[in-house]
């Protein structure tokens, strides 16, 4: 990934914290939303035979007609409070016991509906609530030895330095997978367009550390799964319905972690892609101007340093070919164990320069640099050190820890 100048966007399941991106789902909505939720459960019962023996054809219309009275009961019981998603099963069962005696006279049919509704709520609703999210994680603290221990092979690895002056990081994909809204091309009658693109600049957002997960109104994730008539689709009812469900902390999902992770001082970029993507499609190249250097670990072997320098040279050569302007100097820094404290010290080494040769590395050391290059190297080193000392208050610098290269 260093050789290609790439970052990896991980899914929820690939992150090292099983609590990641887990919201506290609640339900709060209008009568229409509760009725459509009841309709969703009933349709799953009627048209998903894998759950068991569904209602027969002549009973399906009667079963679907229960959505409105069930919705009224659910809304009345919910009132104005937030209902935890874990209570939906018992609430729906109570609604069925209230509505079914007058609507369905067959006792076997009633028991079947109650049983199947529980299966649908336990198995299918969680699938509807799942939304894929792909995250690239960075850190503002390159001096923390815990980070080096967890993510860089106990100080045998290295840190890649990224600079994002505008608070964004540029990414490029060989195939169009990045969904987005952009200004329309010149001459178009529209002011903007929605499309799928190969490149974008993604916002970097800071992670908050708390003891509770963020709340999210589950209706926002269920609305796309509701059934709509052709007329409702024509009048954009699916787009209007979210206004009937009060937002909670939906925008913080993926940006809140348990407080014990605070030492990471994490910053995240989210890949704006919808649907499932295989891992290889989520390895994306970073814009060359955003990759600014490498910090060698205190215990990084000489052989791994040589490989890292060669990889950086090959990366820069590949990126230079597609760049219309000259790129800034690429810095090499060295992390050093301190005698008096655990936090690592960061020292300047040199810049990437020259040709790759079997006896000569493309590295110009600090004492060989021109004044402007030496000043640039010192600025990078100073920014990195300041971020480590001041708890990452400088928004312009982020560092991504990488696993060590191995032979």
What string of DSSP letters covers 159-195? EEEEE-TTSEEEEE-SS--EEEEEEPPTT-SSSEEEE
3-class DSSP state of 205: strand
Give domain status of residue 261, yes or no: yes
State whether residue 135 is helix, strand or coil: strand
Task: Please identify which residue in the block is written with the tokens 């299966």.
Answer: 119
Question: Are 124 and 260 in a shared domain?
Answer: no
For residue 297, report the phi and psi dihedrals to the nearest 5 degrees. -70, 155
Angle at 271 between CA 220 and CA 153, to 5 degrees: 120
Q: How confident is the model at residue 391 (pLDDT cuts 50, 70, 90)?
A: low
Percent of the chain with pLDDT over 90: 69
Average pLDDT over residues 126-133: 92
pLDDT per residue as tens digits for the range 23-70: 999 999 999 999 999 999 999 988 876 656 666 666 788 889 999 999
86: in domain: yes
Q: Which residue has the higher pLDDT, 360 or 223?
A: 223
In a domain, 110, yes or no: yes
Residues 74, 181 within the same domain: no
Query: Is there a single domain that holds both residue 46 and residue 193?
Result: no
Average model confidence (pLDDT) across the chain: 89
Tell whether the torsion through CA atoms of 217, 244, 130 and 226 is positive or negative. Answer: positive
Do 90 and 120 fall within a single domain? yes
Residues 264 and 324 occupy one common structural domain: yes
Mean pLDDT of the region 321-345 = 87
Out of 89, 113, 129, a domain closes at: 129
Burial 17-50 (b: 16+ CB within 10 A, else e): eeebbebbbbbbbbeebbbbbbbbbbbbbbeeee
* pLDDT value, residue 173: 95
> Which carries the bigger pLDDT value, residue 171 or residue 355?
171
Same domain membership, residue 120 and residue 142: no
What's the pLDDT score for residue 104? 63
Per-residue pLDDT of 99-110, as tens digits, reads 887 666 577 778
Element (H, E) at 380: helix 371-389
Check pLDDT > 90 for residue 394: no
Residues 111 and 16 in one domain: no
Reference 127, options 60, 216, 218, 28; nearest CA is: 218
Flag the least confident range among 113-117, 123-127, 309-313: 113-117
Same domain, 73 and 169: no
Determine, yes or no, domain membership for 91.
Answer: yes
Largest CA distance in the chain: 92
Q: Is the pLDDT of residue 399 over 90?
A: no
Hunting for tokens 């035979």 — which residue is that?
Answer: 49
Mean local confidence (pLDDT), 315-335: 84
Question: Which helix (H) or strand (E) element contains residue 139?
Answer: strand 135-139
Number of structural domains the chain divides into: 2
Q: Please state the rounded mean pLDDT for residues 348-374.
A: 88
Which residue segment(s) compose the domain that 384 sits in?
A: 6-20+135-211+255-402
């Amino acid at each position: 990934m260093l050789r290609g100048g790439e970052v990896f966007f991980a899914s929820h399941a690939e992150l090292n914290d099983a609590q990641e991106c887990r919201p506290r789902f609640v339900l709060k909505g209008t009568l229409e939303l509760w009725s459509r939720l009841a309709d969703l459960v009933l349709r799953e019962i009627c048209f998903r035979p894998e759950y068991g023996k569904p209602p027969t054809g002549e009973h399906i219309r009667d079963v679907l007609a229960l959505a409105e009275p069930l919705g009224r009961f659910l809304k009345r019981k919910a009132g104005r409070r937030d209902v935890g998603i874990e209570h939906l099963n018992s609430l729906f069962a109570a609604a069925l016991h209230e509505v079914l005696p007058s609507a369905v006279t067959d006792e076997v049919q009633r028991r079947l509906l109650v049983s199947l509704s529980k299966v649908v709520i336990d198995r299918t609703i969680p699938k509807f609530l799942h939304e894929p999210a792909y995250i690239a994680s960075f850190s503002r603290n390159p001096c923390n030895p815990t980070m080096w221990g967890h993510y860089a092979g106990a100080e045998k690895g290295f840190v890649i330095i990224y600079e994002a002056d505008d608070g964004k990081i540029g990414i490029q994909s060989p195939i169009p997978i990045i969904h987005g809204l952009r200004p329309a091309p010149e001459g178009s009658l529209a002011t903007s367009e929605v499309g799928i693109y190969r490149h974008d600049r993604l916002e970097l957002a800071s992670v908050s550390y708390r003891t509770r997960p963020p709340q999210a109104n589950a209706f926002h994730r269920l609305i796309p799964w509701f059934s709509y008539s052709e007329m409702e689709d024509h009048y954009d009812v699916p787009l209007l319905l979210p206004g009937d469900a009060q937002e909670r902390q939906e925008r913080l999902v993926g940006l809140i972690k348990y407080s014990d992770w605070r030492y990471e001082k994490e910053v995240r970029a989210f890949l704006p892609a919808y649907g499932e993507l295989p891992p290889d499609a989520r390895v994306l190249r970073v814009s060359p101007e955003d990759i600014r250097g490498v910090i060698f670990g205190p215990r990084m072997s000489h052989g791994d340093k040589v490989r890292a320098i060669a990889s950086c040279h090959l990366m820069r050569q590949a990126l230079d070919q597609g760049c219309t302007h000259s790129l800034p100097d690429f810095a090499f820094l060295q992390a050093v164990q301190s005698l008096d404290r655990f936090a690592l010290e960061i020292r300047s080494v040199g810049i990437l320069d020259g040709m790759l040769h079997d006896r000569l590395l493309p590295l110009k050391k600090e004492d060989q640099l021109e004044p402007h290059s030496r000043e640039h190297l010192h600025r990078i080193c100073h920014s990195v050190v300041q971020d480590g000392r001041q708890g990452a208050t400088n928004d312009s610098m982020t560092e991504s820890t990488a696993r060590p290269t191995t032979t």
